Each structure stands twice: as C-alpha cells, then as structure tokens.
Structure 1
Amino acid sequence: MSSPLVIVLTGGNKGVGYAIAQTLLASSSHTPVVLYLTARTPVLGEQAIAQLLASTPPALGSDVRFHQLDITSASSIAAIAADLKRDVAAIDVLINNAGILPSGDFSVQLAKETVGCNYDGTKAVTFALLPLIQPGGRVVNVSSTGGVMRNLPSPALREQFLDPALTVDKLDGLMRKFEQDVEGGTWKEEGWPENAYRVSKMGMTGFSMVLAKENPNIIVNACCPGWVKTDMAPMGTKTPEAGARTPTLLAIGDIGGKTGRFWKDEVEVPWTEGIE
C-alpha cells in the first residue's frame, strides 16, 4: 500500500469544503489520504468529522483529523503550522477553501473584512505551511469567476493584475489601494467594482499565479467551484458535491502538471475571460 497523501483543507466543516472532504474520503481506497480538516469553530469541526466518519468512512490506511484554524488569526495559523511540523513529515496538498461572503452595505469595513479573510488570510496560511509542502506537492485555491478580469472595470488595474512581473508585494499594494479607495470614496473613479468579494477573489487568483511562478517545484492552481447552493449562496444552482469536483481534481487528479492556471468545471479557463 502506498503512503497516504497528507492533505490540509481549510474551511472543511460545511458547504463546498465538506463536500471536498467527502469526495477525498470516498476516493481513499484508490488514493489513501490523511486529511486534516480545519474549521474556525472547534465544535462545528468535530461535528463535521463525526458526520464524515458515519457517511464516508475512510479506507484502510486513511484517516481524517480535526484542527482548529481561523485564517484571520496569526496565532491560530502559527499553531497549526507548529502542530503539523511536529506531526507529519510533509504536506502533499493544501486546499485553501476557507472564505467569507459578507452581507451588508458596501463600505470600507466590509472591504477590509472581506479582503482580510479571502486574500490576506489565504496568503498567510499558505506562507506558514509552504515550508512543509514537499516538492511536487500541490496548492489549490478555491477562488471564483467573480474574480476574473472582465469584472474589473479599469484597463489600467487589469494591466497591473496581469503583469507578468506581478509580485506578492505589488498584489498587496493593489489590495490596500482598493481598501483606501473605498475609504476615500474614489473606488468608482479608480475603476474598481462595487463588490469587495470579487476584488478579494481577484487577489486570491492573482496570488495563485504569483505563487506558481515563484515556486516551480510545486503545483499551484486557482479554481471556481461554480454557483453552489450553500448558506453563503442560498440561490445557488449547483450542489456542493458538484462544486467539489474541480477542487478535488486539482488536489489529487491528473492535470498534466499544469500550474499557475485558473479552472472551472474541471477544465482550464482564461483568467482574462471576457476581455476584448
């Protein structure tokens, strides 16, 4: 029996994250896994694991374990990094699924909260666990087609996101500029959409591209699970199980070594989709 893949899944207690966990465990007879399912609230994470073990028992040699993780908390991120460093030799796959879609009026508070979780939080977890990801390992960032470049009104801003010389520092600068422009009331003139979630996912996909470029020894991709019916999107048309297919493909499937790409419906699609 081959050694199990060590997979870390953020935001795994509900919705698409829970469905990803189910799909990974269902395939564990073919691909043994030790799955670290994380959630911000311990009781919800433990409940999710109990439900998983009852509905989708892992195959022999596989396991699912809970670890608390709030991706907006530096101490929480440091704790999981330290525990994993102690408990495993290496991580094979990191699936960054945790994120928020807050409701409420468009405001600087909402912008900072959304970007702070979806972009800054994802980035912080990734950098904390990156030293543990072994060569050939994978990072899967669950982003959104809301973050494709056609949803960014400004050609000048699109040019910066799509710059082949884009770095994390420059991407940080773009995220901070968005927050500052919202705070100053100049976001529309500067060419941003009135949608903090979309901008946060532009940052998340951009981060995926930069991470892939700067770490050629691992495989990094971003994807959209689709419009999935969850508590974040009650009007969604896709089941969580269907939404889990693309992230799971990128985590353990044969994708021909492709990296630094954006995916939807299990195929690569252009991040520049819709731009004339």
Structure 2
Amino acid sequence: MTQQIALVTGGNKGIGFSIVRALCKEVKECIVYLTARNEERGKAAVEELKKEGLQPRFHQLDIDSLESIDRLKEFLKSTHGGLDILVNNAGVYKPNDVQAKMIIATNYTGTLNVCRALLPIIRPHGRVCNVASLLATMSFTKLSTARRQKFREAKTEDDVSKLMADFVESVEKETLIEEGWVQAAYDVSKMGVIALTKIQAAALNSDSSKQDVLINCCCPGYVNTDMTDHKGIKTPDEGAVTPVFCVLLPANSSEYQGNFLSDKTVVETW
C-alpha cells in the first residue's frame, strides 16, 4: 500500500498545530505535512513537535496566494504522487465587518482555492475536513428567509462564491440588514465553507475515480487560542479531536459525506 500523505493548513499554532500532533501520533506510516504562511514559524513548529519524538515535515503555504497553492500541489504530485488526508484549518477571525473582504477572501476563497487544487490529487479512500464553526449555523437562523433560501439552492461553487461576494458588497454599501444578512463576517465566511462542503461532496459522489473519498466540515469548539483571545474553554488538543475524527473515518462511513460535525456528531445545518 502506498504510504499515506497528510497535510494540515495553518499548522504552526493553535488547533492546526494540535491536529498535526494528533495525526503524527495516530496514523502509522504516514507523512504529515505542517503548512504555514510564515516559513520561519512553520519550521519552528515542526522542530517543537520533533522534540516530542514526532516527525512532521514542513511546506510553505499561504492560502491567499494561488502561486503558493500551486507550488504545494506540484510538490505533492512530483514527490508523493497524490494526497490522502487534507485538513483545511487555516483561517482568520476579526470581530469587525470593516475587514469583511479580507475575512471572506481567506476563510472562504482561500479554502475554495486549496480544494480546487488538491481535491483532484486526493487518492481513493482519502479524507478531507474543512474547518467551519457552529457560529455559522447559529447566524444562519438569523438571515432573512430569502437569504437562507439562496444558501439552500446553491448547487455550484460559483453559486456560493456569488453569495460571498454579495455579502461583501452589502458590507461596503452598509445594507446588510436590508439585504437579509447578519453583521458577522466570520460567521458568513463559515456558512460559505459549509455550503461549499456540501457541493464538493456531491461532486465526489459522482466521480468514479474518487472511490470512498469523503469530505466533511466541522466545528472544533470554543478553543483557547489566539483567535479567541485565549478565552476558549477547550484546549487546542481538545479542539483537534473532531477534525482528526473526520479525517480518520474508516471505510463505509458514507453517512458522514458532506455533513457538518461538532463533538464528533453530525449537526443539522440547512
């Protein structure tokens, strides 16, 4: 059997770092790549894990850069011939909608671009988890009926991207409430990730070359990291539990395909 290859985006600290640690411990004979935008910080994180007796590898990845994403894809193809486990963890949190364009660009568009590049090289029986948030499901209920319906009707990546662009435009025009949105760019960006995951799952189901490839999304929980100003109630290792569960699902786990999980349990979205 070909040696498994795993990759975690945004792995130099917080939940991503703990996901890398868990995968190194739990998946035997697997090469685990810790990726980060900042090469110095990423390599320092790898050295920290090596002190624990673990052997992750580093590769630079800035999910906001198509060039960086393409370099990673070509490296994985030429070095390993593909990828088996992908955790799209990289993201940002800003409480201010003034930065909505940047938040959507990283959390949604960055994740989309990584998936577009790497899903084609995911091998049969591969596993992919997009990190989302329960905040998205909570804020979804506060959208207007018409806006909620547009999410339910989204059938393509472009449909979701249009919704994200509409949100950014509404922020810039200061018409969020009138146009049925909530004032929470982070939450909306993760709604986009959930909608994207559903669409990606449907595409995988119709692709005969992707035998037993599963993609889902999850909420790690309220975790004590920089993103929560260290107010979270879970440790980063506890936050890593559900994402790791998602990418270590055994064969014949199709009931998880395209779903959103919290505490290793499927949660209804829309």
TM-score (norm 1): 0.90
Q: Does residue 155 in structure 1 map to residue 154 in structure 2? A: no
Aligned partners of 2:59, 2:15: CA distance in 1, in Å?
18
Aligned partners of 1:270, 1:198: CA distance in 2, in Å?
16
Paired AA for residue 103 in structure 2: T
Q: Does residue 129 in structure 1 map to residue 114 in structure 2? A: no
Q: Does residue 261 in structure 1 map to residue 256 in structure 2? A: no
Paired AA for residue 44 in structure 1: R
- Matched residue SS, 2:84: strand
Could you say which residue in structure 2 is the equivalent of 1:4?
3
Shift, 1:3, TM fit: 4.3
Aligned partners of 1:184, 1:150: CA distance in 2, in Å?
21
Q: Does residue 25 in structure 1 map to residue 14 in structure 2? A: no
Number of residue-to-residue matches in the alignment:
260
- Matched residue SS, 1:189: coil
Shift, 1:140, TM fit: 0.5
* Within-5 A mapping of 1:76-91: 76-91=68-83
Paired AA for residue 237 in structure 1: I
- String of CA shifts for 1:131-169, please: whole Å, max 9, x gaps: 211122121001101111653421111111122x52111
Contact 2:139/2:187, CA 8 A, preserved across alignment: no
* Within-5 A mapping of 1:48-197: 48-55=45-52, 57-58=53-54, 63-103=55-95, 105-107=96-98, 110-148=99-137, 150-151=139-140, 152-163=142-153, 166-197=155-186
Contact 2:139/2:182, CA 8 A, preserved across alignment: no
Contact 2:215/2:258, CA 8 A, preserved across alignment: yes
Could you say which residue in structure 2 is the equivalent of 1:223?
218
Contact 1:160/1:166, CA 8 A, preserved across alignment: no
Q: Does residue 238 in structure 1 map to residue 234 in structure 2? A: yes
Contact 1:223/1:246, CA 8 A, preserved across alignment: yes
Q: Which runs of 5+ in 2 are unaligned?
A: none
Contact 2:129/2:243, CA 8 A, preserved across alignment: yes
- String of CA shifts for 1:12-57, please: whole Å, max 9, x gaps: 11000001111111213xx3211111000001000100011111x2
Q: Does residue 39 in structure 1 map to residue 36 in structure 2? A: yes
Shift, 1:237, TM fit: 0.7
Could you say which residue in structure 2 is the equivalent of 1:14?
13
- Matched residue SS, 1:117: helix
Shift, 1:102, TM fit: 2.2
Contact 2:21/2:49, CA 8 A, preserved across alignment: yes
Contact 1:3/1:32, CA 8 A, preserved across alignment: no
Q: Which runs of 5+ in 1 are unaligned?
A: none
Contact 1:149/1:271, CA 8 A, preserved across alignment: no
Aligned partners of 2:244, 2:171: CA distance in 1, in Å?
35
Aligned partners of 1:227, 1:118: CA distance in 2, in Å?
17
- Matched residue SS, 1:187: coil
Contact 2:22/2:240, CA 8 A, preserved across alignment: yes
Aligned partners of 1:144, 1:210: CA distance in 2, in Å?
18
- With over 3 angstroms needed to count, the CA separation of the structure-2 counterparts of 1:150 and 1:106, relative to structure 1, is closer
Aligned partners of 2:111, 2:173: CA distance in 1, in Å?
26
